[in-house]
Structures are given as structure tokens and as C-alpha cells.
Amino acid sequence: MKNNFLSFVKKESLHILRDNRTMLIVMLIPVVLMILFGFAISTEVNNIRIAAVAPDRTDGVRDAVARIAQNDYFSFYGYIGNDRIDQKLRSGEVNAVVVFAPDYDRRMAQVAAGVPSPPVIQLILDASNVNTAGAATAYLQNILLGSASQQALFETRMLFNPQMKSAFNFVPGIMGLIFILVCAMMTSVSIVREKEAGTMEVLLVSPVRPVKIILAKMIPYFVISCIVLVMILFLAYYLLEVPMSGGVAGIFSLSLLYLLLSLALGLFVSTIARTQVAALLISAMVLMLPILMLSGLLFPIENLPKFFQIISNIVPARWYIDAIRKMMIQGAPLLEVWVNGTVLFGMTVVLLGVSFKKFNDKLE
Amino acid sequence: MRAFIVLLKKEFLQIRRNSFLPRLIILFPIVIMLVMPLVMTMDVRNVNVAVVDLDRSTTSRRILSHIGASEYFTLVYTTEDFHRAMDRLEKGTADVIVQIPENFERRMETDFPEPVQITANAVNATKGSMGMQYLVQSIARTLSELRDEKHPVVTSELITVQNRFNPTLNYRHYMIPALMIMLFLLICGFIPALSIVGEKECGTIEQINVTPVGRMTFTLAKLIPYWMIGLFVLTVAMLVARLVYGLVPAGSIATIYLGSMLFVLTISGFSLTVANFSDTMQQTMFVMFFFVMIFMLMSGLLTPIDSMPEWAQNLTLVLPPRYFVEILRAVYLKGTTLAELGVSFVALGIFAVLFNTLAAVTYKKQA
Amino acid sequence: MNDVVISVHDLTKRFGTFTAVNRICFDVFRGEIFGFLGANGAGKTTAMRMLCGLSYPSSGHGTVAGFDVRTEGEQIKRHIGYMSQRFSLYNDLTVWENMNLFAGIYGLSKRETEARSLRLLDRLDFSAEKGTLVGSLPLGWKQKLSFAIATIHRPEVVFLDEPTGGVDPVTRRQFWEMIYEAADHGTTIFVTTHYMDEAEYCSRVSIMVDGEIRALDTPTRLKEQFAAQSMDEVFRLLARGAKRGE
């Protein structure tokens, strides 16, 4: 009986290994994601293109422009005519325009002397990109008016991520996403394909117990996921320098639990779907979409409307990502995220129970 | 021509008879357009602030009440013990700690003021840094207000700010064009590929291959329904944007449709090319997922291209969605004209021709 | 009977180092029912796919309806019908819609399509099933429908790849009646089969073993040549030496 089981596992593994392209992509996705999130994309606003409008290029104006040009956040586009403002913003050549008043120097001198003055600078921003506009306003106000004494009033510290790498925030999210993709999506599709092709019946009439057939299907995907997991942890530590201060053992064991849960989800989908397309679409709509939107991967959960915050509690990835974030970056030990672990464990048990029951019911 | 018409009719019949697709085509854009804008806010709001007030002066109370009143911050905790506040930060119930030192008010007037300490949880780098920025600004404003009250001098607003194209800084308006592009990627990207591979898996494509139908004819008949679906989806999405979010395109609707047509053409051509190289649905799905993922992350849909390092910016030049993101956002929000976006339109056009030729060439009737 | 429709010389197909079809030669004449026999893996389907313009030959040459299989695959496709061993009509279209689709693909006018489809329905006794989804028909019916659709444009040659696999004896009988009828109208039939009783119905039979044609003649003369009682015996005598299994 044991040999039977092993031969099933072998059959499944061969199936998967023979499809080189899928294997390649499965391995490639996490690597590419880590590189993109680690080195390519950043939610920070940089390289804001600024143009200046100044009727007289006096010393004061030149000085202000020089301060803008030197700032890391900005690149100075050049001086433009008053009539070109709209066009330059519309075409996207510049993100913001700083308009200096004609008698800028005189008025600034007045202000310094304590005489009130009407506005001397107008900032015109391309607010179609809200984030860029907000950041540009804040930075420009600081540069143009900010005095040194004000800065001395504050002492700021960035905890856990002093270099402000956005990758830190994304690595746990990527993990939450990838395992659903590999375990849940691939398992459900491969089970449903056998149903479609009718080969499932052939397997079911063999003397091997149905539970074992399903387990045999899940094992290769579990192994692949483990390889991917090790790869991600390796890349995160050496390439992105994520601290992992909560202990690799804890991160690893919680991830294994999440892998099991993903497999259970895949099995569950396969008991509902009758065709491969349906399995794919259900996986995409019911599993992937909520992860992207409701798990805190891209959008912070506390920003969601209340209703969605409540819904997000049934998304497994939310619990997993939250726990991994705490363990990887904030250095919380496994014990501190026991609530997340318990919730994930409970979900796994319930899903496995329901799926096996549904699977057996169908046989009778 | 007759062959083309019957093939086209067949595609429409198959789509209509599918139990899932028609519902997907109608419901998906509506749900995405209704739900996503609520969810997709990278706006930094709801920053939870804990204050350690060691000064307990008028100044510190003023700072506290201003933080509490701000729309960006929620004052969650006030204490005199830094470790307690730190505890909150670690548990995640507070995002930022503001510590006002002892004798802050008194020493503020001197040359050596004791600084206010701000500690942010920077696990989420954006939220950390933006929250910090806003907080510094807010406290600075409170302090200068207090100074003015004591020594009434000139401070008038020296800088005025004009937010063009989106005066209320509504983040949703910024994301709506992005959502439309995501819809195109999902509906016109995945479904045509799955439909071709489906025909491969059930053998019907071989039956077509022994007929004299040309590959251009077959490919076109496969694509046209999805082009039409794409434009239908766009129309639905635009209606939702208009009715629910009050967002009316600032530019010409014709330009929007022209750009969309080019984009749908490009993406569906790409999708068929992937299908021609795949044998199973699982394979198709993974390959498409891989590319769509890169498209979404790298084309400026969610994060600005300008913030990327140079190598990544160069990479985006070969991603067709990059050009369409530029076009759709500019036309929809800023009213940019076709002429001003000439380069992007030409680039998109080249990709459209390229991918569709590739789709027709890689479709092999005879192996 | 000298009107050659299919002519094949030294036709060969290699996949890497494996030679699936090895230098086969034969002619098929107009109106013939040509039986193309062989064990599983003997190379029948590969040879047939080359003749239909689905696969390029590695060497040798062949013509179908006067067109070269290597260079004029698309012209060949105008003159042939094909029924593959997998059922490959659209399951999610009705009987009527499938007929219309394939008639239209071959460029039949709307009126012509309608007339022929109605006649086919009538002859198959399918008129009641006109609006039924093909996917819900029983297998035997599907196969008859496939054949009808493969001949809807009145091709010169019809290629049938194991058309009666899994079909009950009564339906098989009816199926062969349809084949005879088509042949009587001058259509050439090129058919592969595993059923040796069906081989007896053919005008001429070729038997393929390990990618080569080992025998080719009328069933009667083949039986004489091998001193056998039935085609079944002939086949077994030849196939015994086969090196390739399943």
C-alpha cells in the first residue's frame, strides 16, 4: 500500500517536472518580484520636475531656484514663460511650476523687516497625480520658506527600517501571494484537469484510498513551495537585507502552516469547480483579488472602509502577512504572533475537513 | 469573407453560451470600479499617534489638541512613560510617537531649545516618512501660531498653492484610469489566451487547421469579439466613474477610445502570442500572470516611473501599458490632446502591429 | 480507375532520431475506399497528418488532389475533409450551428449551406436534434455527425482517422453505409481502423508495421498471398514482427 502511494507521488512529480515552462515561471515569479520591489519600484516620490516662472531673474529668485535644483527630490526643468504653464503641466513635461512675484526680492526684504506682504510665490501643481502633488507642496514649502531654526526643533527616528526601504514592507506580502498562487491555484487546476480528462476516475477505481490520491497530488506542490520559500528567505536576507530578527525558525514554521492552508484552499476550489477555466477564475477572483486588495499587501488595512476591514478578517493572507511582517522586520518572536498562528491553524483544519468531506461525498 | 463571418459568429455564440463569461464581462467592471477605489488609498491618513507629554504646558496641550483635530492623525494614547508608548508602537496600535521634552515651553524661547522627538514605525516606508513629514509640519505650524500670539508680527501666507486638474486632491480620480487599465489587462489579456488554449486542449483547433481558413482570418475572428468586449467594458467603467465618482474626462472622448483601441489590440495580440506557445491552460495562466504582474508593477500604474532607478526606467520603455497609462491619465484628468501625446500613441501603435503580427506568424497550421 | 488522387513516394517523417514514417509509397485512385491499417504506434496518424497538410514531411514527396503536401498544404485543405480520432466539433454549439460553421468556412453560400445542411439532417434522421448542443449527443451520433460535416463541402478525398472507435456494432454498420454512399458519389475515402472486419469492406488495404508499408492490395488478394482465412489473420502475421509496442 505504501508503494502504491509513493508511485502516485512519483507520477504527480513527473507531470509537474515535465512542464518545464510552468516550473521556470513558478521559480521566476518570486525572484522577479523581489528584484522589482527591492530595487525598481518605490512608492516614494522622487525626481519631481519643477519649472520656474520669474519675470525678473533677480538674486533672490536665483537663490531659491538653486535650492530647488540641489534638492534630491527635485530636478529643475528650467525657466518657462507665463503662457506656457498650462501646456507644460498638461503634457506632463513638468509636475509643478513655481511662479515668483515680479518684485520678489523687494517684498522678501520687507517681510524680513517685519512689514506684511501679499503672497510672493505661487505653486501650480499637476494634481492629477495626488501623491506627487502632495509631496511637492510639502517639500517646496520647506525649501522656499523653511528656516534652519525650525529644523532644530525636531529630532526624528525611523524605527525598524532606518533606510526606508519599501521592500521591507513588500516581502511578507509577496510571500502571502506566491504561496496561494503555487499551492492553491496549481493544485486546484491539476485536480480539475484530471476530472475533465476522466483520468480521475481511473485513479479512483484503483485500490488506493481517495484521500491518498489527493495527498499524492498535493505533496509535489508542497515540495515546490518549500523550495520557493527557502529561495525567498535567502533573497530577502542576502539581497534585500531584511533583518529577520524574529528568528528564521519561527518564520519558517509559520510559513509551512500557511503552505498547508493554501493547499487546503486549492483542494476546496477543486471540489467546487468542474472545469479548469472555472478553477482558474475562482482562484483568481476569490483568492488572488482579495489578497491584493484586503490583505495589507499594497493598501494598509487601517485605510480601508470599516466594512472591508471586517471582511479582511476572513482573508488568510491578512493574518499571515501581518505575522511575517512582525517577525521579519520588528523582530517579534513566534510566540508574540500566537493569535495569527491560531487563526491560520483553525482555518486550515476547517478547510481540510470540509474539502475531504465534500470529496468523499461526491464518491458516494 | 464568408469564412470570416461564420467564425466571428461562432466566437460570439461560444461567449454567449458560456455560463461564466457574460456575467464576468458585465459584473467585473462594475464591481472593480465600485469596490477598488474604496480600497485603493495609498493616501496617508489615519496615522495613529501616541504622545508622551513630559512638559504638560499650554504649548504641549495645544500640540495635542491640534494633532487630535487633524484629518491625518488619530490621537490614540497620551502618557508620560515612553516605554508604554513604545509598547503600543510594537503592537501596531500606534504608528508614530511624539515625545515633548520636559521644560519644552520654557526653553523654546532660548537659543538652545530641547527638540521634540518623533519616532515612526517605518516598516511601511511611505507611511512612515509621509506621516513624519505631516507631523513635523503640523507641530511647526502650531508652534509658529503660538509665537505669533505672544509676539504679534507679520506672518502672512507668502505662498499660495493651486492644485490644477484635481483641486480637491481626490486620490480616487487618480486611480480610476489605472483601474480601467487593469480591467483591460484582465479581460482582454487572459480570456483570449485561455480561449485558444481551450481549443487546443479539446482538439477543435486541429479541425480548423485542416480547413482552408487562413491564420489571419482565424486570429482576427478570435480577437474582434474581445476588442468589442474591451471597449464595452471601458464604456461601463466610464459610466460608473461619471455616475458614482463624478469624474468626467477632461480631454476628448474620441482620443480616449482611440488609445483604448490601440491598447486592447496590443494586449489581445500579446495574449494570443502567449497562447500559441502554450499547450495547457495551467501554462498559459502562469505565463500570462507573470507578464501581467510585470505590466502592473512597472508601467506606472501604482507607483511613479520617475521614482525608479535608470535601468528600470529604461525597461519600462518596452512595456506597452506604460504608454497607455500615460495617455489615459493625461487625457482623462488633464485634457491633454492627441498631438501632445503623439509619441506615446506612435509607440503604442508600433506595439499593436508588432504583437498582432507575432500572433498571426506564430500560429502554425502545419508543424 | 487510372485517376490518381493521392500519390506518395518515399514519404518520411522523423522526430529527432525517431523515424515515425519510413519511406512509404502508394497511390490511391478516385472513388476508392483505401484502408490504412497498422498497430498502435505504427505511424498511421503521422502519415495521415502529412497528407492533410498538418505536418511537414522530413523527406520524400506526395500529392493530394494534385497538390504538393510540402508546399501547397493550404490548397490541399480546400479539397479534403478530415475527421480526427478525437471528437472535434464544438461541444458548445448546436448541431445546426456546427454545420453552418464548417460549411461557411469552406466558402459555401448561405443558401447552399442551408440546403445541404437540411439534406444532411434528413439523411441522418437528425432533424429533431437540429437545435441540440453537440456536447449532449451520444458518441455514435457524434461520429455520424462528424462524418457528415467532414463531407459537407463535397471534398475529393475524406480522411478518417479511426472513425468508429468506441462505437456500437449497429452504428458502425450505419457509418459504413454512409462511407459507401460517399464513395459511390466519387469521393475517395482514406480510412484508418483497428477493426479487421472493416478492412474487408475496403477496396484496397495497406498494412503498416514500424513506420513502413509491409503489404498493399485488395483484401481478397492479401488473404491469398498470406494463405489466410481472414484479414485478421493477415494482420497478425504481419504485425507479429513489430518492434514498436504501444
Considering the domain boundaries, does residue B193 fall inside one? yes
Chains that touch C (3 or more CB pairs under 8 A): B
Closest chain B residue to the Cα of A337, Cα to Cα:
B91
Chains that touch A (3 or more CB pairs under 8 A): B
Q: Does A91 share its domain with A175?
A: no
Counted domains in chain B: 2
Q: Vertex A169, ends A167 and A172: CA angle to 5°? A: 100
- B319: part of which helix (H) or strand (E)? none
* Mean pLDDT, residues B166-190 taken together: 86
Q: Is the distance from CB of A139 to CB of A69 less than 8 angstroms? A: no
pLDDT in tens, C165-198: 878 888 888 889 999 999 998 899 999 988 888 8
Q: Is the pLDDT of residue B298 over 50?
A: yes
Q: Does A9 share its domain with A139?
A: no
Q: Does A196 share its domain with A340?
A: yes
Q: Does B200 share its domain with B337?
A: yes
Of B114-118, B241-245, B339-343, the one with minimum mean pLDDT is B114-118
Would you say the C-alpha torsion B339, B343, B345, B346 has a positive or negative sign? positive
Q: Does A196 share its domain with A239?
A: yes
Q: Which domain covers residue B334, as residue numbers?
A: 170-362
Q: Cβ separation of C105 and B366 shorter than 8 Å? A: no
Q: Is the pLDDT of residue B253 over 90?
A: yes
Considering the domain boundaries, does residue A158 fall inside one? no
Q: Does B239 share its domain with B199?
A: yes
| pLDDT interval class at C6 (50, 70, 90) | very high
With CA atoms as reference, report the closest residue to B2 among A317, A246, C153, C141: C153
Considering the domain boundaries, does residue B249 fall inside one? yes
Considering the domain boundaries, does residue A160 fall inside one? no
Chains A and C touch (3+ CB pairs under 8 A): no
A39: chain B residues, CB-CB within 8 Å: 309, 312
| pLDDT interval class at A149 (50, 70, 90) | very low
Asked if C90 reaches chain B (Cβ–Cβ under 8 Å), the answer is yes
Q: Does A254 share its domain with A145?
A: no
Q: Give the CATH number of the domain where residue B64 resides.
A: 3.40.1710.10
Q: Which domain covers residue A238, as residue numbers?
A: 2-41+165-363
pLDDT, mean over chain B: 85
Q: Does B337 share its domain with B281?
A: yes
Q: Does A124 share its domain with A252?
A: no
Of A153, A181, A203, the residue at which a domain comes to its end is A153
Considering the domain boundaries, does residue B200 fall inside one? yes
Q: Does B143 share its domain with B185?
A: no
Q: Does B101 share its domain with B174?
A: no
**Res A241: pLDDT:** 82
Most confident of B299-303, B315-319, C37-41: B315-319
Q: Does B339 share its domain with B207?
A: yes
Q: Does B216 share its domain with B102?
A: no
pTM attached to this predicted model: 0.82
Considering the domain boundaries, does residue B11 fall inside one? no
Counted domains in chain A: 2
Considering the domain boundaries, does residue B1 fall inside one? no
Q: Cβ separation of A145 and B158 shorter than 8 Å? A: yes
Asked if B51 reaches chain A (Cβ–Cβ under 8 Å), the answer is no
pLDDT in tens, B115-165: 888 888 877 766 777 778 778 878 877 877 777 776 655 455 677 777 878
Q: Does B282 share its domain with B205?
A: yes
Considering the domain boundaries, does residue B7 fall inside one? no
What is the rounded distance in angstroms from the CA atom of residue B260 to the CA atom of residue B251?
A: 14
Q: Does A79 share its domain with A188?
A: no
* Whole-complex ipTM: 0.82
Q: Does B282 share its domain with B335?
A: yes
The residue with cell 526606467 is: B313
Q: Is the distance from CB of B64 to CB of B51 less than 8 angstroms? A: yes
Of A105, A123, A153, the residue at which a domain comes to its end is A153
Q: Does A307 share its domain with A197?
A: yes
Instruction: Report the residue of B2, B207, B364 to disrupt the C interface, i.e. the one with the largest count of C CBs within 10 Å.
Output: B207
Q: Does A29 share its domain with A68?
A: no
B173: chain A residues, CB-CB within 8 Å: 128, 130
Size (chain C), residues: 246
Question: At CB < 8 Å, which residues of chain B contact C?
Answer: 2-3, 5-7, 9-10, 13-14, 17-18, 202-204, 206-214, 365-367
Q: Where are the beta strands (DSSP E) in chain B?
A: 47-53, 73-79, 96-100, 116-121, 159-164
Looking at per-residue pLDDT, the higher value among A229 and A204 belongs to A229
Q: Does A283 share its domain with A219?
A: yes
**Res A166: pLDDT:** 66
Of A127, A153, A179, the residue at which a domain comes to its end is A153
Residue A60 grid cell: 533672490
Closest chain A residue to the Cα of B292, Cα to Cα:
A29
**Res C246: pLDDT:** 43
Of B95, B116, B150, the residue at which a domain comes to its end is B150
| pLDDT interval class at A108 (50, 70, 90) | confident
**Res A156: pLDDT:** 66
pLDDT in tens, A246-296: 788 889 999 999 999 999 999 898 888 878 878 887 887 778 778 877 887
Considering the domain boundaries, does residue A159 fall inside one? no
Considering the domain boundaries, does residue B348 fall inside one? yes
Q: Does A217 share its domain with A306?
A: yes
**Res A154: pLDDT:** 65
Asked if B127 reaches chain A (Cβ–Cβ under 8 Å), the answer is yes
DSSP 3-state assignment of C130?
coil
Would you say the C-alpha torsion C22, B206, C170, C156 has a positive or negative sign? negative
Q: Is the pLDDT of residue A11 over 80?
A: no
Q: Does B59 share its domain with B134?
A: yes
Q: Does B111 share its domain with B202?
A: no
pLDDT in tens, C73-114: 888 888 999 998 777 888 888 999 999 889 888 888 889 999
Considering the domain boundaries, does residue B160 fall inside one? no
> Who contacts B162 (Cβ-Cβ below 8 Å, separation ≥6)?
A122, A123, A124, A125
Q: Give the CATH number of the domain where residue A129 resides.
A: 3.40.1710.10
Of B43, B123, B308, the CB nearest to A330: B123
Q: Does B69 share its domain with B180?
A: no
Q: Domains of chain C by range and CATH?
A: 4-239 (3.40.50.300)
Q: Does A58 share its domain with A132?
A: yes
Residue A244 CA, distance from chain mean position: 18
